[in-house]
Amino acid sequence: MTSYTATAPGKIILFGEHAVVYGQPALAVPVHKVQASAMVTPCPENSGLIIESSSLNLRLALAEAATHALVVTAQLVLEKLKEPEPDALITIQSTIPIAGGLGSGAAVSAALARALSGYLGHPLDPADLSALVYEIEKLHHGTPSGIDNTVVCYGQPVYFVRDTPPEVFRVGKPFHLLIADTGVASLTHIAVGGVRERWQSAPQKYTALFADIGQIARQAREAIETGNIAAIGPLMTNNQSLLRRIGVSSDEIERLIEAAEQAGAEGTKLSGGGIGGNVIVLAAPEHTERISEALRQAGAVRIIHTLVT
Binding mask 116-155 for ligand MEV (x = CB under 6 A): ----------------------------xx-xx-------
- Subset of 19-48 contacting ligand MEV (CB under 6 A): 20-21
Query: Using the rule CB under 6 A, is 73 a contact of ligand MEV?
Result: no
d(CA 60, CA 49): 9
Among 97, 166, 267, 273, binds ligand MEV (CB under 6 A): 273
Query: What does residue 174 show for φ and ψ, rounded to 5 degrees?
Result: -60, 150
Least Å distance between CB 84 and ligand MEV?
33
d(CA 59, CA 74): 14
Least Å distance between CB 240 and ligand MEV?
14
Q: What is the DSSP string of 137-152?
A: HHHHSSS--SHHHHHH
Quick one: 20 or 110, whose CB is closer to ligand MEV? 20
Q: Residues 60, 51: contact at Cβ < 8 Å?
A: yes
Q: Residues 30, 9: contact at Cβ < 8 Å?
A: yes
Query: Using the rule CB under 6 A, is 270 a contact of ligand MEV?
Result: no
Among 188, 238, 250, 278, binds ligand MEV (CB under 6 A): 188
Residue 16 carries which side chain, given as an amino acid letter? G
Q: What is the DSSP string of 284-299?
A: -GGGHHHHHHHHHHTT
User: Which range in 14-22, 168-176, 214-222, 235-243 contacts ligand MEV by CB under 6 A?
Assistant: 14-22
Least Å distance between CB 275 and ligand MEV?
10
Quick one: 86 or 272, whose CB is closer to ligand MEV? 272
Distance of CA 177 to the CA centre of its chain: 15
